[in-house]
Structure 1
Amino acid sequence: MTASIDPIDLASRLIAAPSITPATGAVFDVLEDALGAIGFTVHRFIAGEAPDGPVENLFAARGSGGPHFAYAGHLDVVPPGVGWTSDPFIPEIRGELLYGRGAVDMKGSIAAFVAAAARSADHPGTLSLIITGDEEGPAVHGTVELIDWMRVNGHQPDLCLVGEPTSVHRLGDMIKIGRRGSVNMWIEVAGTQGHVAYPHMADNPIPALVRILSRIDVIELDQGNDWFQASNIEVTDIEVGNPATNVIPALAKARLSIRFNDLHSGEALVERIRAICTEESPNASLVARISGEAFLTEPGRLSDIVSGAIRRVTGLVPELSTTGGTSDARFLSKLCPVVEFGLSNATMHKLDEAAAIADIHALTEIFELVIREALAS
């Protein structure tokens, strides 16, 4: 007989295992024990080295053959910060809320899914969990390497649910069916240092950087489309670092962040900005990091399954949205259709992060319905 699991107890035990990104060790032990007790075969491996690692990853599966439904999430959390009412890594129930770092993002969701899986042991096909320890960090050695491991070992999901906290005002009011892409760029303009009284003997890089940023500032990438808001470019830092009032600096720097919809690719945006830099200053250089491309899972069977389960448990009709930041769904979308749904995001990353106990129980019920429907033959 498969063991039953209390999602509040499991969420509490996960919170009590500190797992600031990148996470390894004890928090994965807690999850492995819970999954092993309900019939999952668990695989764990460490990837990467400092500064972005080491990162622990976990893949667990139960059953065989198709269909294959996967749940994806992360056990790492952001640093708690100073000013909590109670210890962020000692779970505490006060009133109707469970407090602790990760209660919302996203140990409460993982606990709810495991509890739902415990209630659904008679499913056909394959049920799996794809869990990483670096979603909150650079995301270099986590889900990307899990996907590679899954391909090598012959694990191909048909559908995937990412348990990120997508609800806004009430549990079930929003599902994410896509995300915008993200690219960061670092611009440097080199000059020649000199005395301000002898500008002909120097080359001030600041005017060239200002011209570059002025051209970038007036760009309108698009006006959005049916599923995505407009893409935006933001200047997030300008640096010269010149403490002297009578010195022309030798270097000026700026940093950009672009969030873009599916009308663009990261590489095309990088080349567009690079061309502006080169036109305004031959001495300009640009380094870019594309964190992820935009993706959209068109409304269909997966979003219908999740929406239907939400309606049955909460009575709400969820909004299908692509708003918000990036998540590991940007990688998983290359495997199969993927949507995101989880707890209310009101306190994620904040002091006194807390999830409503009733919401964790309701999420467990929703996940149970999703599992049964997704694996129905």
Structure 2
Amino acid sequence: MSIALDYAEKLIAAPSVTPATGLVFDVMAQMLSPLGFEVHRFVTGEAPDGPVENLFAIRRGPAGSKHFAFAGHLDVVPPGNDWTSAPFAPEIRPSPGGDLLHGRGAVDMKGSIASMIAAAHDVPADAGTLSFIITGDEEGPAVYGTRALIDFMREHDMEPDLCLVGEPTSVNRLGDMMKIGRRGSVNIWIVVEGTQGHVAYPHLADNPLPRLVAIMAELDALVLDEGTDWFQPSNLEITDLEVGNPAHNVIPAKATARLSIRFNDIHSGASLSERVAAIAEKHGGAAKSIISGEPFLTPPGEFSRIIADAVEAETGIAPEASTTGGTSDARFLRAVCPVIEFGLCNATMHKTDEAVAVADLDVLAKIYARITKAVLAG
């Protein structure tokens, strides 16, 4: 059995539905310590979003050497029902394209973390400083995870020069895509207050629904932008409308809506929040926003070239540089250093019977080792 496969099976076998603590971090620490890593673990946060465990492991190179970091998460989404096998009992099954390892987290992202640790076996300790930035709070609110790790790194003066996040970025085959940026995300709740009353006496009531409809119509008609050289157009999506009125003859007292905006680097979360709030206020409503992350871009350059060269050397294909998809913890890490995401095929992430190609684990470990050696030698 390969090192990467062995590690992937052990990590999958440690249940870690978000927010994660305990056993799965024990397992990872036991993999890193024999390789010379100092392993730092700490728990932050309280219910309902915590507690959350985080791990920062570092193997220091010679004084003045470069510092390269792998980043990722050990928490997973709930497995759901109708799995062919137990979601936390890793199982290898044959398939027409080669053996598949099934289990929750196989691709998102315990498989990538297994390949990262396997890659560390092939990187000499004197090549430079190598670290792991690992959280148990990425699939959840992400309140007590990577941001707490960033505070820890800054407090101890251990920020990396470059960081690779192991999210499953590949689409059709391993290596066909890396993410050099991501759009930002903001969720906004709109409330319109009225006065409850009988539908036969509307002059004695104040119906909030027409005003909410007017707000939604204006928001739905917005064209935020046409996209940029590296980002697709921003989009605003209405995700919920609620009145909660069980009576057919009652004008409701309140109506609410929720919307989500994924936006490129033309905008900021604050500017979009202010724009939506102004529209809501014009029609007599109020808006409250939570900004999940700002857009970021690591422009194509030496770091992306190193990754592309490593991928092509091991797979024969050149990865597309993309900014598509949802958010990841790279949105926080970009404040520390340049960051790019690259990992396994994402077709089964969050799905029932999540699975990774066994062969891809070893190939990914070789790619990660090439990237690490090239960055540290630079």
Would you say 1:132 and 2:135 are equivalent positions?
yes
1:30 aligned partner: 27
* Cα displacement string for residues 246-291 of structure 1 (whole angstroms, at most 9, x for unaligned residues): 000000000000000000000000000000011111xx22111000
SS in 2 for 1:375: helix
Q: 1:145 to 1:122 in 2, by over 3 A?
A: closer
Amino acid at match of 2:47: A
1:52 aligned partner: 49
- In 2, the alpha carbon distance for the partners of 1:190 and 1:270 equals 20
* Cα displacement string for residues 310-333 of structure 1 (whole angstroms, at most 9, x for unaligned residues): 000000011000000000000000
Give, in angstroms, the shift of residue 123 of structure 1.
4.0
- In 1, the alpha carbon distance for the partners of 2:319 and 2:70 equals 19
- In 2, the alpha carbon distance for the partners of 1:241 and 1:217 equals 22
Runs of 4+ in 1 over 4 A off after TM superposition: none
- In 2, the alpha carbon distance for the partners of 1:323 and 1:123 equals 37
Amino acid at match of 1:178: G
CA contact (8 A) 2:60 2:125 kept: no
2:259 aligned partner: 256
The percent of aligned pairs where both chains have the same amino acid is 64
Give, in angstroms, the shift of residue 124 of structure 1.
2.3
CA contact (8 A) 2:238 2:258 kept: yes
CA contact (8 A) 1:231 1:260 kept: yes
- In 2, the alpha carbon distance for the partners of 1:63 and 1:156 equals 12
CA contact (8 A) 2:59 2:125 kept: no
- In 2, the alpha carbon distance for the partners of 1:356 and 1:157 equals 30
Give, in angstroms, the shift of residue 5 of structure 1.
7.1
CA contact (8 A) 2:133 2:149 kept: yes
- In 2, the alpha carbon distance for the partners of 1:90 and 1:125 equals 36
2:250 aligned partner: 247
Amino acid at match of 1:266: G
2:117 aligned partner: 114
Give the unaligned 5+ runs of structure 2.
none
2:221 aligned partner: 218
Give, in angstroms, the shift of residue 301 of structure 1.
1.2
CA contact (8 A) 2:54 2:149 kept: yes
- In 1, the alpha carbon distance for the partners of 2:148 and 2:104 equals 25
Amino acid at match of 1:264: H
**TM-score if structure 1 supplies the norm length?**
0.98
1:334 aligned partner: 335
Q: 1:143 to 1:116 in 2, by over 3 A?
A: same
CA contact (8 A) 2:2 2:362 kept: no
2:292 aligned partner: 291
- In 2, the alpha carbon distance for the partners of 1:215 and 1:285 equals 15
SS in 1 for 2:118: helix
Provide the aligned C-alpha RMSD in A: 1.0
CA contact (8 A) 1:73 1:162 kept: yes
- In 2, the alpha carbon distance for the partners of 1:225 and 1:122 equals 42
Would you say 1:360 and 2:353 are equivalent positions?
no
Would you say 1:76 and 2:75 are equivalent positions?
yes
Amino acid at match of 2:21: T
2:370 aligned partner: 369
- In 2, the alpha carbon distance for the partners of 1:121 and 1:132 equals 25
Amino acid at match of 1:347: T
Amino acid at match of 1:142: G
2:150 aligned partner: 147
- In 2, the alpha carbon distance for the partners of 1:122 and 1:62 equals 7
- In 1, the alpha carbon distance for the partners of 2:140 and 2:175 equals 27
SS in 2 for 1:371: helix
Give, in angstroms, the shift of residue 125 of structure 1.
2.1
**TM-score if structure 2 supplies the norm length?**
0.97
Give, in angstroms, the shift of residue 122 of structure 1.
3.6
Amino acid at match of 2:355: A
1:43 aligned partner: 40
Give, in angstroms, the shift of residue 118 of structure 1.
1.1
